[in-house]
Copies of this chain bind each other. A is one copy, B any other.
Amino acid sequence: MAGGGALSGNAAMPETLIVGGGLIGLAIGWQLAKAGRSVMVIERDSPAASPSGASWAAAGMLAPLAEVGFNEPVLLALSRASLAMYPEFVAELEADAGQPVGYRTEGTLIVALDNDDAAWLRRQYDFQQSLGLPTRWMDGNEAWEQEPHLAPSVTAAAFAPTDHQVDNRRLMTALREAFARAGGELRTGTEVVRIQHDGDRASGIWVRPSDDAGADPELLEAPQLVVCAGAWTRLLMANNLPAPAVPPIRPVKGQLLSLTMSPLLRLSYVIRTRRVYLVPKLDGRLVIGATSEDVGFDTRLTAGGLFELLRDAWEAVPGVYDLPVRESWAGLRPASRDHAPVLGPTPLAGLYLAVGHYRNGVLLTPATARLMCEFLLTGEVPEAMQPFGLARFHRRARMHA
């Protein structure tokens, strides 16, 4: 490629274009780049602004046990597989990026503060046990000895020793660095206007600077397009793509805040109740979350949202009362109709999805990156990924067609 006065148009084009520079997009890009692919990630946020996606807003829990739902056995398998990959994923990433990501393995205490809580917790625990999950029941005294900052009113707890956590913001910063070091290109401050396609095959994306809605869009072409656009996936895809190519993703708002822990109150376990979680970070932040609100793309903090977080956190760990407030924010979880991610092909050749990770995006990042890379490199959908195809949402419609 050296020399010559003109560049061929395709010479600068990547083999894979990823839309969305959150955890999922960056992790896929990093792994693809390490496998030798030329990869470009397109990110709407500019580096100056605080990232707007769920990757940044999340609390960073890796909690397949605490988050397990009664109707989600397939998702539980993927979640546990991804959790099992975490130590190796973190070691590889920290080595590649040359920076720590705040991975903590103390575990999670799910606590009950009254009799209603205890009945709820017992049902959760019995279900976890029926699945063979390694949670351990504690009475109130045991729980209080395990974590003396808990309210004295704690009546019971389930300890989930394998529900770990990571600093999702550090994870994102590290992924950016590792992706760049692997040769990937990140274009920030770039908005995708629409996906270029001919009805059968997608061939590129039209982009413009995020801060200039009047600019003429530019076409970026690539043989593989991967959409990792989180809660904004539908807005991006629904305007000009055939309906069967569009995954049913909606935003679910979460409000959070963080406090600054003191030498007198420095938690190590993640604490969860029926209503709130408290996630202590290695840098001294205590992240408290989160509301769950179906209100579209509204990300405003509300009096009621902050009130309930503060009340519920204070009821679980009374000592938080005196801690300084550090930050408050809201984010949008990308929820699919069945709350499981949407991974793999679409009806359009060349267009692929890794979206809809809902409450589990941080946890599912390693498994998603590994499965999607295998798929994008080989063209074969790995067996573990097959339950998460887009087609599951369109089966009924097709039967009626």
- Contact residues of A with B, CB < 8 Å? 259, 300-304, 306-307, 310-311, 313-314, 320-325, 328
Q: How far is the CA of A310 from the CA of B323 in the complex (A)?
A: 16
Which B residue's beta carbon lies closest to that of A328? B325
Contact A302 B314 (CB under 8 A): no
Contact A303 B314 (CB under 8 A): yes
Residues of B within 8 A of A301 (CB): 324-325
What are 24 A-B contacts with C-beta separation under 8 Å?
Answer: A259-B303, A300-B325, A301-B324, A301-B325, A302-B321, A302-B322, A302-B323, A302-B325, A303-B310, A303-B314, A303-B321, A303-B322, A303-B323, A303-B324, A303-B325, A304-B310, A304-B321, A306-B306, A306-B325, A307-B310, A307-B311, A307-B321, A310-B310, A325-B328
Beyond contacts A300-B324, A303-B314, A310-B310: 7 other A-B pairs, Cβ-Cβ < 8 A, are A259-B303, A302-B324, A303-B313, A303-B322, A304-B321, A306-B306, A307-B321
Which B residue's beta carbon lies closest to that of A320? B303
Q: How far is the CA of A259 from the CA of B305 in the complex (A)?
A: 12
Residues of B within 8 A of A323 (CB): 302-303
Q: How far is the CA of A303 from the CA of B314 in the complex (A)?
A: 8
A161, chain B: closest CB distance, angstroms: 28
Contact B324 A304 (CB under 8 A): no
Residues of B within 8 A of A259 (CB): 303
Q: How far is the CA of A323 from the CA of B303 in the complex (A)?
A: 6
Residues of B within 8 A of A300 (CB): 324-325
A51, chain B: closest CB distance, angstroms: 21
Contact B321 A310 (CB under 8 A): no
Residues of B within 8 A of A314 (CB): 303-304, 307
